[in-house]
Amino acid sequence: YFVANARWPTLGELYQGATREFAIEDSFQTVSGMFKSEGVVDGDVAISLSVEQLHRCQGTQADIENFMSALRLAVEADQAMRRITRDEAARELNLDDVAATKLGRMLALAPDICRDREGDDDYSAWSFLTSYNVHFFRRVKSIDDYLATVANVNLTNGFVSALAVAQTTRVNHEDGDGLPDGVVTFLMTDVVESTQLWLQNRAQMYGAMRRHDQLLAAAIEANHGVVLKERGEGDSFFAVFHRPTDALVAAFDAQAALMSERWTDNVPLMVRMAILTGEAEAHDRDYRSPAVNRCAKLRRRAVGNQILVSETTYSIVADILREDMRLVGVGKRRLEGHDRPEEVYVLQHAELPLEPAVQEDAS
Q: What is the pLDDT of residues 69-105, one digit of tens each?
A: 999 999 999 998 899 999 999 999 999 999 999 999 9
pTM, 2 dp? 0.78
β-bridge partners, 173: 227
Between CA 97 and CA 321 the distance in angstroms is 62
Between CA 251 and CA 256 the distance in angstroms is 9
Region at 230 (left for phi over 0; alpha for psi -120 to 50; beta for the rest) = beta
297, 337 Cβ separation under 8 angstroms: yes
**How many alpha carbons lie under 13 Å from residue 131 in its C-beta half-sphere?**
19
Between CA 247 and CA 291 the distance in angstroms is 15
Nearest to 330 by CA among 300, 294, 358: 358
pLDDT for 35 equals 66
Q: Residue 59: what are its φ and ψ, rounded to 5°?
A: 80, 10
CB atoms within 10 A of CB 316: 15
**If you write DSSP's letter for every residue of 28-90 in order, what string do you get?**
HHHHHHTT-STT---TT-B----HHHHHTSTT-HHHHHHHHHHHHHHHHHHHHT--EEHHHHH
Asked if residue 272 has pLDDT above 70, the reply is yes
Q: Which range has the worst mean pLDDT, 13-27, 115-129, 214-228, 270-284? A: 13-27
The Cα angle at residue 284 between residues 222 and 288, in degrees rounded to 5: 90
148, 232 Cβ separation under 8 angstroms: yes
135, 234 Cβ separation under 8 angstroms: yes
For the chain, the average pLDDT equals 86
180, 242 Cβ separation under 8 angstroms: yes
Between CA 308 and CA 251 the distance in angstroms is 10
β-bridge partners, 188: 238, 274
3-state helix, strand, coil in the chain (%, to 5): 40, 20, 40
HEC secondary structure over 127-168: EEEECCCHHHHCCCCCHHHHHHHHHHHHHHHCCCCCCCCCCC
Between CA 336 and CA 9 the distance in angstroms is 46
Between CA 255 and CA 219 the distance in angstroms is 9
pLDDT for 159 equals 32
pLDDT for 92 equals 96
Asked if residue 117 has pLDDT above 80, the reply is yes
What is the tens place of the pLDDT at every residue in 6-48? 999 888 887 777 666 555 556 666 666 666 655 555 667 788 8
- Give residues with Cβ within 8 angstroms of 118, minimum separation 6: 126, 127, 128
- Give residues with Cβ within 8 angstroms of 249, minimum separation 6: 223, 322
Between CA 132 and CA 81 the distance in angstroms is 11
Q: Which range has the worst mean pLDDT, 26-40, 129-143, 149-163? A: 149-163
**Arithmetic mean of pLDDT, 241-248:** 97
Helices (H), 117-243: 143-152, 194-200, 202-222
- Domains belonging to the chain, first-starting first, are 48-135 (1.10.10), 169-349 (3.30.70.1230)
Q: Residue 228 gets which letter from DSSP? A: P
